[in-house]
Amino acid sequence: MPVNHTTLESETSMLTIHDLSATVANKAILKGLSLRINAGEIHAIMGPNGAGKSTLGYTLGGRPGYEVTGGSVDFDGQDLLSLAPHERAAAGLFLGFQYPVEIPGVSMVQFLRESLNAQRKARGEDPLSGGAFLKLAREQAALLKLDPEMLKRPVNVGFSGGEKKRAEMVQMGILDPKLAILDETDSGLDIDALKVCGEGINAIMRRPDKAVLLITHYQRLLDYVKPDFVHVLAGGRIVRSGGADLALELEEQGYEGAVA
Ligand SMILES: Nc1ncnc2c1ncn2[C@@H]1O[C@H](COP(=O)(O)OP(=O)(O)OP(=O)(O)O)[C@@H](O)[C@H]1O
Ligand SMILES: [Mg+2]
């Protein structure tokens, strides 16, 4: 049977960002950024401080205050930018924060169950019962080696930096997204936690029908979660793309050397 490349491409494309521009506080940060991520792929974005990496994540997630001034984003066949943040999440987009927020008064269990059931409802699925949810939450906590007792505590309140990141990965495992954008998930992790989180990302997301965009400054996470593509974001756009070796080259030469 002849292969129709047009059809094949549209079937496997998970995220297509075309010429995206965005402002924060009236300041242009993203300036014509294009990037395509297919299902089954892991991409890493690296780049200098202030380049716009977190802004890209927030803009894709639909965070208020991040205003799109041009371009388009197709997520799994939908116009992502026309969706409200909760609709983006229900469509299968997960954003792991560089600085996870604390929510006093709301326990992890409550938060995770509400998040999951809100997404299930938006997709026309029945809510998970309390028992079924607890089983799922315990399984995911075990995968990330997070003490299940922590699920009873208020979201991120008093969690250590590494515990916050692990709790985010537990949340990702429970929500089971199609595309995860993980903003410096490796920051604050000790050496063992880095391995646990890396293996968790692989276990949850390394599948033919899923994709990951890892924002990171260092090679160390990429030793566990091996990227198919590495991109350099500088000055609000992708200025260089390559394979996993590019991360090593950047580590050796720095951005000035590698992008000049
Ligand atoms: N609310 C805001 N008000 C003003 N400027 C902002 C705001 N949010 C972001 N910026 C600016 O946008 C630019 C890009 O920030 P962003 O957080 O996207 O960088 P980054 O690439 O993630 O950097 P890092 O590697 O340090 O995390 C920075 O110059 C930052 O100061
Ligand atoms: Mg950032």
Express each pLDDT in 64-87 by its tens digit: 999 999 999 999 999 999 999 999
Q: Which residue has a Cα nearest atom 19 of ligand 1?
A: 50
Per-residue pLDDT of the chain (260 residues; tens, 9 = 90+): 444 444 444 458 999 999 999 999 999 999 999 999 999 999 999 999 999 999 999 999 999 999 999 999 999 999 999 999 999 999 999 999 888 999 999 999 999 999 999 999 999 999 999 999 999 999 999 999 999 999 999 999 999 988 999 999 999 999 999 999 999 999 889 999 999 999 999 999 999 999 999 999 999 999 999 999 999 999 999 999 999 999 999 999 998 877 76
Among 74, 103, 100, residue whose Cα is nearest residue 13: 74
**Cα–Cα distance list, 90 to 2, 83, 117 (Å):** 35, 10, 10
Q: Which residues surround ligand 2, an ion (CB under 5 A)?
A: 53-54, 98
Establish whether residue 24 lines the binding site of ligand 1, counting it when its CB lies within 6 angstroms of any ligand atom: yes
Report how far residue 42's alpha carbon sits from residue 84's, in angstroms, rounded to the nearest whole number.
25
**Cα–Cα distance list, 256 to 9, 44, 164, 259 (Å):** 34, 18, 32, 6
Report how far residue 244's alpha carbon sits from residue 256's, in angstroms, rounded to the nearest whole number.
19
The predicted structure's pLDDT at residue 98: 84
Express each pLDDT in 40-50 by its tens digit: 999 999 999 99
The predicted structure's pLDDT at residue 6: 46
Domain boundaries, position 235: 13-259
Confidence (pTM): 0.93
Tokens found for residue 230: 């590495």
Does 2 fall in a domain?
Answer: no
* SS3 assignment, position 210: coil
Report how far residue 256's alpha carbon sits from residue 247's, in angstroms, rounded to the nearest whole number.
14
Question: Backbone dihedral region of 48: left (phi > 0), alpha (psi from -120 to 50 degrees) or beta?
Answer: beta
Establish whether residue 28 lines the binding site of ligand 1, counting it when its CB lies within 6 angstroms of any ligand atom: no
**For the chain, the helix, strand and coil percentages under 3-state DSSP, each to the nearest 5:** 45, 30, 30
Does 80 fall in a domain?
Answer: yes
Does 24 fall in a domain?
Answer: yes
Give how many domains the chain has, as a whole number: 1
Does 8 fall in a domain?
Answer: no
Q: Which CATH number fits the domain that encloses residue 169?
A: 3.40.50.300
Does 7 fall in a domain?
Answer: no
Does 4 fall in a domain?
Answer: no
